[in-house]
Amino acid sequence: MNNDRRSGLIRWTAVIAVAVLLVAVGIGLRRGAVQRAGAVSVARPANPEGTPNRAESIAFTMGTVARITAEGERAEEAVAAVTAELDRLTAIFDRFRPYGDLAAVNAAGGEWVKVSGEVMTLLEEALFLAELSGGSFDPTIAPVVDLWGFVEVDHEHGSDSPTPMAGHKPPDPNELARVHKTVGYRGVEIDRENGRVRLTVPGQQIDLGAVAKGYAADRAAELLRQQGVERALIDLGGDIYALGTRPDGTPWRLGIRHPRVQGQLLGIVRASDVAVATSGDYERYFEYQGVRYSHILDPKTGWPAQEVISVTVVAPSGVWADALSTAAFVLGKERGAALLESLDGVEGIIVDRELNVHVTSGLVDAFQPL
Ligand code: AMP
Ligand code: MG
């Protein structure tokens, strides 16, 4: 074996070893979309012999496996900067972090609490999207999610077992009714001038986990652009930002997972300078008496939304794609599609329980069913 081939083999062995480690870390993860910061992080030139300006990194951060591929003169530094930024955001948006802004707001019993400009901005955007979606996306749903026991486990990368939630059943109706009373984004009051937030409903809790990965994808794209990177693919466990184009100048081709057949794709979306996020009922769920209960809840009822099984949204920003995929999932086929159609620059793919695939008008040309 010549030296080149041997070093190639060693490199791939290292990558596979890291991937196995990431899976192990993924299995160990419990609770909080953004709870644990970069347990493992590798960055390496993707093509050290040839083009030095291409870099790739796989890191465990934002509660998921983040994969970044970037091309540009300072691609390696840029990718390293993004990994550090993702670790910073992991801590900022962790509502369980002691002394964190969100923990402070949630513990304040309705008193005003000062928060950072960044938390304020994302909270405002989340409240705007809650309003825009008629409350089907709601950042105050967290206590109900907790009651159902939908802890964050990254199935996609962390486990191939059907569900680690075996034995779960729906919560006691009285308990659910009690916790459900705390839900309602309109109870969140913002005093932008003084940088303060308060929760006016007793027992209310906010969580930005449902938009944090989208926000992180946006920040990653911003940082890469600042460093002169023109082409990159940022994948935060299904929250994707496609920066620029592929090296040959054509749009990135993103595989959309089939919601029922593991390892199979539903189709391919061609994407350039947009965010793409998918919400599926296969991500976290349990089955009880033959019914699947998944982690996306209808804030109006406190029960899992069941009309559709997968929603992919293409949007100008990761925050919008992330929030709107959850919102459209809750709204279902007709109302979800109507919401996506009504917004400029927003498109989507909705898969219903009979596996019918609905594609919004602006995406028909860019979506290739398989
Ligand atoms: P996603 O996978 O982006 O659809 O986000 C789903 C996660 O957001 C869940 O695991 C819950 O923690 C939380 N969530 C569930 N239902 C909602 C909802 N209707 N609005 C906001 N967040 C939600
Ligand atoms: Mg989402």
Question: How do residues 37-59 score in pLDDT, each as one tens digit?
Answer: 333 445 555 555 555 588 999 99
Q: What separation in angstroms does the CA of 169 have from each of 147, 293, 307, 348? A: 11, 9, 20, 32
pLDDT for res 19: 37
pLDDT for res 223: 96
pTM of the model: 0.86
209 lines ligand 1 (CB under 6 A): yes
Q: How far is the CA of 102 from the centre of ligand 2 (A)?
A: 19
Q: Is the distance from CB of 326 to CB of 350 less than 8 angstroms?
A: no
User: Using H for helix, E for strand and C for coil, what is the string for 132-167?
Assistant: HCCCCCCCCCHHHHHHHCCCCCCHHHHCCCCCCCCC
Q: For residue 188, is pLDDT > 90? A: yes
Ligand nearest the Cα of residue 322 is 2
Query: For 116-136, how does the pLDDT look when each residue is reduced to its tens digit (9 = 90+)?
Result: 999 999 999 999 999 999 999
pLDDT for res 24: 32
Overall average pLDDT of the 340-350 stretch:
97
Q: How far is the CA of 297 from the centre of ligand 1 (A)?
A: 7
pLDDT for res 4: 47
285 lines ligand 1 (CB under 6 A): no
Alpha carbons within 13 A on the beta-carbon side of 45 = 12
133 lines ligand 1 (CB under 6 A): no
More confident residue, 214 or 41: 214
- In eight-state DSSP terms, residue 247 is T
pLDDT band at 170 (very low <50, low <70, confident <90, very high): very high
Block residue for tokens 């993707």: 46
d(CA 141, CA 49) in angstroms, rounded, equals 50
Overall average pLDDT of the 157-175 stretch:
72
pLDDT band at 18 (very low <50, low <70, confident <90, very high): very low
More confident residue, 37 or 365: 365
Block residue for tokens 């081709």: 253
| Residue 44 parent element (H or E) | strand 41-45
pLDDT for res 17: 38
pLDDT for res 77: 93
d(CA 319, CA 330) in angstroms, rounded, equals 17
Overall average pLDDT of the 78-98 stretch:
92
Query: Strands (DSSP E) along 196-339, which ranges?
Result: 196-199, 231-236, 239-243, 252-257, 265-271, 274-280, 285-288, 291-294, 297-298, 303-304, 308-315
Pairing state between β 274-280 and 239-243? antiparallel
Choose which residue among 151, 156, 296, 330 to substitute to test ligand 1 binding: the one with the highest number of ligand atoms within 8 A of its C-beta.
296
Q: Is the distance from CB of 85 to CB of 78 less than 8 angstroms?
A: no
pLDDT band at 16 (very low <50, low <70, confident <90, very high): very low
| Residue 131, phi-psi category: left (phi > 0), alpha (psi -120 to 50), beta (remainder) | alpha
274 lines ligand 1 (CB under 6 A): no
Query: For 265-287, how does the pLDDT look when each residue is reduced to its tens digit (9 = 90+)?
Result: 999 999 999 999 999 998 888 89
Ligand nearest the Cα of residue 133 is 1
pLDDT band at 152 (very low <50, low <70, confident <90, very high): low
d(CA 358, CA 333) in angstroms, rounded, equals 8
282 lines ligand 1 (CB under 6 A): no
Q: How far is the CA of 46 from the centre of ligand 1 (A)?
A: 34
324 lines ligand 1 (CB under 6 A): no
Q: For residue 159, is pLDDT > 50? A: no
pLDDT for res 99: 86
297 lines ligand 1 (CB under 6 A): yes
Atom of ligand 1 nearest to the CA of 329: 4
pLDDT for res 42: 52
pLDDT for res 163: 52
Question: Average pLDDT over the chain, rounded to whole?
Answer: 86
Q: For residue 80, is pLDDT > 50? A: yes
d(CA 63, CA 119) in angstroms, rounded, equals 18
pLDDT for res 45: 54
By the CB criterion, residues less than 5 angstroms from ion ligand 2 are 279, 322, 325-326
